[in-house]
A and B are shown apart, each in its own frame.
Chain A
Amino acid sequence: MSTAIQNISLSGKKKQVSNKEMTFLERMYLVAIVKGLWITIKHFFRKKATIHYPEQVREFSPVYRGRHMLKRDEQGRENCTACGLCALSCPAEAITMKAEERKKGEEHLYREEKYASIYEINMLRCIFCGLCEEACPKDAIYLTLSKELVPAQYDREDFIFGKDKLVMPLEMALKNTQLKNAN
């Protein structure tokens, strides 16, 4: 059996459009208007789609990538060794850093012999792709599950996050260690 190509409808939704004259009742539009009013009044009583933002927060995806964090190890030392692989892998060129050599007496602060004295991420450029996290050989940079978004600011400079905002707080690192030892 062969069907003409014009009549095939793979989706099953094909509808022949006709250009027929409207009847008198249709030209009055009153029926159509009443139908339209019925549709809108149904929406009046429908559940609203709005999420009241500050009070309610939209559910995040389980693989959500939130704000970055520079990790510390169990003894509270910074992991980052300022190798620059994250900056190299960053497609948005959001990361800059400046390396410094660890001095004597700073072993409790930095894990490796070299550390980042300045580590900055431009949050306006960052696309939260997570490539920095994948590139990092020292498990230093992570995209957290933090629900805290980058807040609105008046100046562009305020969106450049330095180490003060990125490095994991020391208490958090010690607490993590405690939890790990307890298990």
Chain B
Amino acid sequence: MAHFTKAKSLHDWLNQRLAIDTLRRVLATEYWIPKNINFLWAMGMVLAITFGLLLVSGIFLLMYYQPNVDLAFDSVNYTIMQEVGYGWLWRHIHGVAASVVFLIIYIHMFTGIYYGSYKNGREMIWISGMLLFVAFSAEAFSGYMLPWGQMSYWAGMVITNLFAGGSLHADGLVEWIRGDYVPGQAFLNRFFMLHVLLIPLAILGLIGLHFGALRIPHVNNQDGEEIDFDAEAKKYLSGDKAGSKVIRFVNDFLAKDMMVVGIFLILFFYLVFYHYDFAMDPVNFDPADGLKTPAHIYPEWYFLWSYEILRPFSTDVGLIAFAFAQVIFFALPFLDKSPNAVPASRRGLFKVWFWLMLIDMIILTAMGKVPPEGVFSTIGLYAALTFIGLWIALPIITKFEKKA
């Protein structure tokens, strides 16, 4: 057993038992971050704060929400929105944060792709991040079921139908998932459980993994420069803060993070109070009705690009393309054959690939929402083919990439 002495202070008492000084040093003050970064490096903190908002607002909503097909709609739209003091505030924070968190996730992902922060030892950061993306997607989808409005019901119907696998006609699997022939009480209970317990647990674990994955390869920087963190840290600690290429996580990096968080929160709360409609589809303010299909069924904006990869093809081809779109981002570190971990602007054809991918996904997103008719179908089809084509081209163009 370790030797304990009589504590001189509470700090000392805790320190002997929990090594809080060491923890603080390792996790905060001497956790080194490159100095050569821009505000995009703060997206991780913005995501952490937004997740915190989702968690806290979710806990409040959970106190009044009723996971029952007869009560769910009114428990949200009447009890929470109108009876409970400030229930509307928690719901709007929850709804808007659920949408905004995906905007930040996409910015975070494209930042990683642009600066090559997924290779040369950083593969696990990328993969754990993609796992988080999948977990957040499942969390968003299951949460969308809970108000039991028209869009909840019909999106639940459409998405669970995908598991029939087209021509495979695995209807038994679909019924097994739903616990019924159509979305009903069993379905709502299951998605409620997933939304408030299982998936949040997975997200918390994955956030730990994501942070842990950063530890050894360290955070990337704006020029993809390989930094000798030990030497630079020594330089910093000896007093040459300006000359060192690294900064402390706390307070140096945190100060910049909080500046970005502060500005982000202005936008966020503006949306919460004055522009929440984009995150809360009007159709979902009609109670679920299994006998009345809405004129347009579409997922929330962050799923539209993958939905549009499903839509323009025949059922089976569409499902294969959809499955491809769901997993292909995981393979990015291995499909990019170039050893260059520098910004896309210095990577020749990859630069073109990056901007094409970004624009193509925005086009897919737009086409995923509009009715699949006429010119929109054609644009959607070509955008989906471009998406697949870009991934096929990636190993080829990166293989021939010159050393930067």
Partners in one complex: no
Identify the A interface with B (CB < 8 A).
none
